[in-house]
Each structure stands twice: as structure tokens, then as C-alpha cells.
Structure 1
Amino acid sequence: MNELIARVKGMILAPDQEWRTIAAEPVELVPVFTRYVMILAAIPAIAGMLLMMALGFFFGAITNAIVSYVLALIGVIVMAKIIEALAPSFGGPQDGQAALKLAAFYPTAAWVAGGAIIIPILGGLVALAGAIYALYTLYRGVPIVMRVPQEKALTFTLAVIGVAILVYLAVWLLKSIFI
């Protein structure tokens, strides 16, 4: 648990330094998911569920929390694949492990701030700020972890975000069919 807390603090307070540490570490899918992604991705899902329950939407709250959580986990894998596929077009290597690192750790601020959604309106603003900061940490991590040249880091980040938005819109449409 101490490692998790230290990583979260590093990603929020000193992302450049934390990205350098992450870049040097080996990564495996199962440990990074079970010890980091699965724990942090649960924060906004649980907060959203509690808010919906407080508003009287019990069944919808549980269903929404489960679907949101599963989609967050799948989203990390999808982002890793997008990052891995786009990197060579921007001067970086096609490195699946580096892409997994970037995809698994950049959403940290969004997941932590997502816990605030339990507070109506204000919590949404905090969650939005966390999401924006997470995108900033993605940008900061691109040249360090994916080894994309600094002068191409912004366009690479925007391309990743653009493709991810298209993927997430498709997922959102699918989600709306089932919920």
C-alpha cells in the first residue's frame, strides 16, 4: 500500500520525476493492474455509485458502477494499444511495455479526483480538474516513457487524445445501449 501511495503522490506532485522512475522500471500487466489500476479506477466508480444511491437510484447505481469500472480497466488496455500504435509515427519506438506504463499511470490524478464526484456539482468540477491534470501528466510522460522527441510530444499527445475520444465515444454509445 505504501508503494501505491508513493506512486500516486509522485504522479500528482512531481510527474516528471515519477515518469523517469516509471520508465526505468520493468512492468508486467497483471501486477500493474492488480496493485495500481484496479484500486485507483475503483475510486470514481464507488463515488459515483454512492452519489446515485444517495439520490435513490440503487439498481442503476450498482450497474453504472460496475460498467464504469470495467470500462475504465478496458480503457487502460485500449489506450496502451493506441499509444503503442501511434508512437512510430511521431519518432518513438513501438514499445508495448512503455505504452502500458503510460496508459496505466497517466490517469492517476483523474481517478483520485474522481472520488470527489460524490459531492454534487463541486465534485464534478474537481473531477474535471483531475482529468485535465491527468492529460497534462500524459503529455509530460510521452517524451520520457515513449521516447517521442520533445518537439513532437504535444502533437503525439493530442493524436492519442483524439483517437481515444473516438474510441470512448464508441464505447459510450455501446454503454448507453446496455444501461
Structure 2
Amino acid sequence: MNELVARVKGMITAPAQEWQAIAREPVELVPLFTRYVMILAAIPAVAGFIIGMFFGFFGALSGAIVGYILSLVGVFVTAKVIEVLAPKFGGPADADAALKLAAFAPTASWVAGGAVIVPLLGAIVALAGSFYALYTLYLGVPVVMRVPQDKALTFTLSVIGVTILVNIAVIVMTRIIL
């Protein structure tokens, strides 16, 4: 748990330095997901469930579960998109590096997503966390994916565009399933 807290703190307070550390570390899919992604992705899901309970327990529960699962799938899809796009911007098609970028970049968004339980202000905090997560993604691109700095912004914008499409698909699928 101390490693999780240290990584979250690093990604929020000093993301450039944290990406340097992340780039040097080996990555294993199962520990990365069970000890980091699954825990942090649960924060906005639980907060959404708490808010949703005002409108009905079972709807809130099913919405939280489906949204949570689809957000985990979104990390995999985003990693694959990053892996495929990287060579087009001068970086290698490195599945491990792409997984690192997709798994750690949303940290601020997940943490800030817990604020939605506070009316209005919480939504603003969550939105700010999402924008900050995009900034951390941009910082991580040249370090983790080894995309040249002069192409990092266009690569990041491409990843963001595809990620927005993935999130729209997640929202649509959630509405269809529920």
C-alpha cells in the first residue's frame, strides 16, 4: 500500500520525475492491475455509486460495476492504441511501455473522481483532475514511449482523440447494458 501511495503522490506532485522512475521499472500486467489500476479506478466508481444511491440502489450498483469494468477495459484499449500509434510518431511499438503510460497517466483523474460526491465543487475537481491527467500523459510520452519531444504533443493529442472515442464507446455500452 505504501508503494501505491508513493506512486500516486509522485504522479500528482512530480509527474516528470515519476515518469523517469516508471520508464526504468519492469512491468507485469497482473500486479500493475491488481495493485494499482483496479484500486484507483474504483475511486470514481464508488463515488458514483454513492451519488447514484439517491436515485436507486440497484441502478447505482449496476452502473458502478459496469462503468468500473469498462474503465479497466479502457486501459487495455488505450494501451493498444498507444502501442500502435507510437511508430507513426517516431517511437517504438512497445507493449510494456504503452501499458505503463495507459495505466499511470489517469492517476490524477481517478483520484479526483472521488470528489464527485461533493455537489458541484466535486465535479469541478474531477474535471480538473482529468485535465491534469492529460498533462501527465503528455509528460510521459517522450519518457516512456520514447517519442521525440517535437512529436510528443501531436502524439498526445492523437492518443487523447482516440481515448475520447474509447470513452464515448464505454458510455454508450454502459447505457446499452443498463
Q: TM-score range by the shorter chain?
A: over 0.9
Partner Cα separation in structure 2 for residue 45 and residue 116 of structure 1: 11
- Deviation string, structure 1 residues 117-144 (Cα, Å, up to 9, x no partner): 1112111110000000000000000000
Within 5 Å, which residues of 2 pair with 1:96-107? 96-107=95-106
Secondary structure of the structure 2 residue equivalent to 1:26: coil
Count the aligned residue pairs.
178
How big is the shift at 1:155? 0.2
User: What is the distance in 2 between the residues matched to 1:109 and 1:168?
Assistant: 17
C-alpha distance after superposition, 1:48-84 (max 9, x if no partner): 101111x242111101110111011101101100000
Moved more, 166-175 or 135-144: 166-175
User: What's the % identity of the aligned pairs?
Assistant: 70
Matched with 1:108 is 107
Measured in 1, the distance between the counterparts of 2:158 and 2:115 equals: 29
- Distance in 2 (alpha carbons) for counterparts of 1:116 and 1:46: 11
Residues in 1 aligned to 2:100 and 2:64: alpha-carbon distance in whole angstroms: 25
Please say if residues 45 and 67 of structure 2, whose CA atoms lie closer than 8 Å, have aligned partners that are also in contact: yes
| Whole-angstrom CA distance in 2 between matches of 1:128 and 1:167 | 18
Equivalent residues in 2 for 1:138-149, closer than 5 Å: 138-149=137-148
1:167 Cα deviation from its structure 2 partner: 2.2
Match of 1:87 in 2: 86
Normalising to structure 2: TM-score of the pair? 0.98
Query: Which residue of structure 2 lines up, in the alignment, with residue 42 of structure 1?
Result: 42
Structure 1 residue 29, shift from structure 2 partner: 0.5
Q: Which runs of 5+ in 1 are unaligned?
A: none
The residue correspondences of 1:139-178 to structure 2 (distance < 5 A) are 139-178=138-177
Confirm or deny: 8 A CA contact 2:63 2:174 kept in the other structure.
no
* Offset at residue 168 of structure 1 (A): 2.0
Partner of 1:22: 22
Aligned-residue CA RMSD in angstroms? 0.8
Question: How many angstroms apart in 1 are the aligned matches of 2:91 and 2:164?
Answer: 22
Q: Tell me by how many angstroms 1:165 deviates.
A: 1.4
Give runs of ≥4 in structure 1 deviating > 4 Å: none
Aligned counterpart, 2:5:
5
Relative to the length of structure 1, the TM-score reads 0.97
Alpha-carbon distance between aligned partners in 2 of 1:72 and 1:167, rounded to the nearest angstrom: 10
- In the alignment, structure 2 segments of 5+ residues that lack a partner are none
